[in-house]
C-alpha cells in the first residue's frame, strides 16, 4: 500500500513536476535565457526522408536493422538546460521568468557554435560552459536556426529552477537511448510477428562527424535583464553550481 499524504503535499508536488519535462525548442517570436546544467550526451540517429520519423541507432548495443540496410545516420547531442527566462524577440522589454529544466537535443551546427564559444572564452576551463547563461535568439523556428551568445555576467539561474533536474535527466536518457528491435521494425514497416525481410532503401551517406569550429567573431551584448536581488548570499556565490557539484558527487537523484 502507498503512503497517505495531504492534498497539496509539497514533496508529492515536486515529484509530479519532476516527471513533466519538456523538450527545449526556440521560437521565432522569442528570445531565451538558458543555462546548460549537464554534460553532453552523444548518440546517433537515423532519419527516414520518406517519412517524418527518426530512429536512434542501436548498433552501440547490438543489432541495428537500419545500419544493416546502410541507412545514413547522424551524430546528435542531448543535454539538460535550465530555461531561465524569455522575452519577445523584438523590442527592449524585460525578461519574464520561466524557471524550469528542459531537455535540449541538437546536431553539429549548435555543437560547433557552443564549441566556438568555448574556444573563444573558456581559457582552458572545461567546465566553463556550465557556469554561463546563454542568450538564444531564433532566426528560423522549423529548422532551429539560432544565434547563441554568452552573457558573460552573473547567472540568473536559481536553486528553485533545478527542482525537476532529476526528471530531466531521466527524460534525456529516454530521448538518447538506442531503439529496441521492435521499434526498428516499426520504423521500417516490418511486421513484428514475422521474421526480418529485405527492404529496398536508398544508398547510405557516410556518418558526418562534428567539424572542429574555426575562429570567428562572437558579438558580445549586454544581457537584457535585471539582476535579481539575492539576500544572504556571499558575493560571487552560485546556488546552481553548488547543486551541480553535489550532483557530480552523489548522482542526479540526490537533488532535493
* pTM for this predicted structure: 0.72
Closest CA to 132 of 25, 225, 34: 34
Q: Among positive and negative, which fits the CA dihedral 225, 229, 235, 238?
A: negative
Specify if 25 maps to a domain.
yes
Closest CA to 103 of 151, 190, 174: 174
pLDDT at 248: 60
DSSP state of 248: H
Q: What DSSP line would sit under 26-83, residue for residue?
A: --TTEEEEEEE-S--EEEEEEEETTTTEEEE--GGGS--HHHHTT--EEEEEEEEEEE
Q: Select the more confidently predicted residue: 12 or 86.
A: 86
In this structure, are residues 207 and 118 in contact, taking their beta carbons and an 8 Å threshold? Answer: no
Residues in the chain: 256
Taking the CB of residue 237, how many other CB atoms lie within 10 A of it? 11
Give pLDDT tens digits for 190-200. 887 655 444 34
Specify if 183 maps to a domain.
yes
Specify if 229 maps to a domain.
no
pLDDT at 173: 95
In this structure, are residues 103 and 55 in contact, taking their beta carbons and an 8 Å threshold? Answer: no
pLDDT at 215: 31
Name the band, by pLDDT with cuts 50, 70 and 90, for residue 22.
very high
Please check the confidence at residue 40 and state whether its pLDDT lies above 50. Answer: yes
Residue 121 lies in domain:
17-190+234-249
Residue 158 main-chain phi, psi, to 5 deg: -125, 165
Closest CA to 103 of 79, 76, 84, 134: 79
Specify if 217 maps to a domain.
no
Specify if 214 maps to a domain.
no
Give pLDDT tens digits for 135-163. 999 888 778 889 999 999 999 999 999 99
Cell digits of residue 147: 544565434
Give pLDDT tens digits for 71-121. 888 999 999 999 999 998 887 778 999 999 999 999 999 999 999 999 999
Q: Report the Cα 252 to chain-centroid distance in Å.
A: 16
Structural domains in the chain (count): 1
**CATH number of the domain enclosing 128:** 3.90.198
Residues with Cβ within 8 Å of residue 132, at least 6 apart in sequence: 35, 36, 150, 151, 152, 155
Q: Say whether 116 sits in a helix, a strand or coil.
A: helix
Give dist(CA 217, CA 115) in Å, integer: 13
Specify if 197 maps to a domain.
no
Cell digits of residue 136: 538564444
Cell digits of residue 45: 540517429
Specify if 80 maps to a domain.
yes
Torsional class of 167: left (φ above 0), alpha (ψ -120 to 50), beta (otherwise): alpha
Specify if 221 maps to a domain.
no
Q: Report the Cα 98 to chain-centroid distance in Å.
A: 16
Amino acid at each position: 500500500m502507498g503512503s497517505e499524504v495531504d492534498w497539496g503535499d509539497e514533496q508529492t508536488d515536486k515529484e509530479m513536476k519532476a516527471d513533466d519535462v519538456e523538450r527545449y525548442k526556440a521560437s521565432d517570436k522569442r528570445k531565451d535565457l538558458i543555462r546548460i546544467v549537464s554534460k553532453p550526451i552523444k548518440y546517433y540517429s537515423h532519419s527516414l526522408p520518406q517519412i517524418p520519423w527518426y530512429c536512434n541507432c542501436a548498433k552501440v548495443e547490438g543489432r541495428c536493422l537500419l545500419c544493416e540496410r546502410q541507412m545514413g545516420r547522424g551524430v546528435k547531442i542531448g543535454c539538460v538546460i535550465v530555461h531561465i527566462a524569455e522575452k519577445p524577440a523584438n523590442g527592449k522589454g524585460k525578461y519574464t521568468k520561466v524557471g524550469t529544466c528542459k531537455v535540449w537535443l541538437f546536431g553539429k551546427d549548435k555543437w560547433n557554435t557552443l564549441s566556438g564559444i568555448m574556444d573563444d572564452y573558456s581559457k582552458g576551463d572545461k567546465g566553463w560552459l556550465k557556469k554561463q547563461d546563454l542568450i538564444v535568439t531564433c532566426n528560423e523556428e522549423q529548422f532551429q536556426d539560432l544565434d547563441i551568445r554568452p552573457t558573460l555576467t552573473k547567472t540568473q539561474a536559481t536553486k528553485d529552477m533545478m527542482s525537476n533536474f532529476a526528471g530531466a535527466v531521466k527524460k534525456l536518457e529516454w530521448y538518447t537511448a538506442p531503439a529496441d528491435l521492435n521499434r526498428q521494425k516499426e520504423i521500417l514497416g516490418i511486421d513484428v510477428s514475422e521474421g526480418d525481410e529485405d527492404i529496398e532503401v536508398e544508398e547510405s551517406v557516410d556518418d558526418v562527424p562534428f567539424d572542429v569550429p574555426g575562429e570567428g567573431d562572437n558579438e558580445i551584448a549586454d544581457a537584457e535583464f535585471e539582476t535579481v536581488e539575492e539576500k544572504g548570499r556571499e558575493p560571487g556565490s552560485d546556488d546552481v553550481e553548488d547543486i551541480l557539484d553535489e550532483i557530480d558527487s552523489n548522482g542526479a537523484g540526490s537533488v532535493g
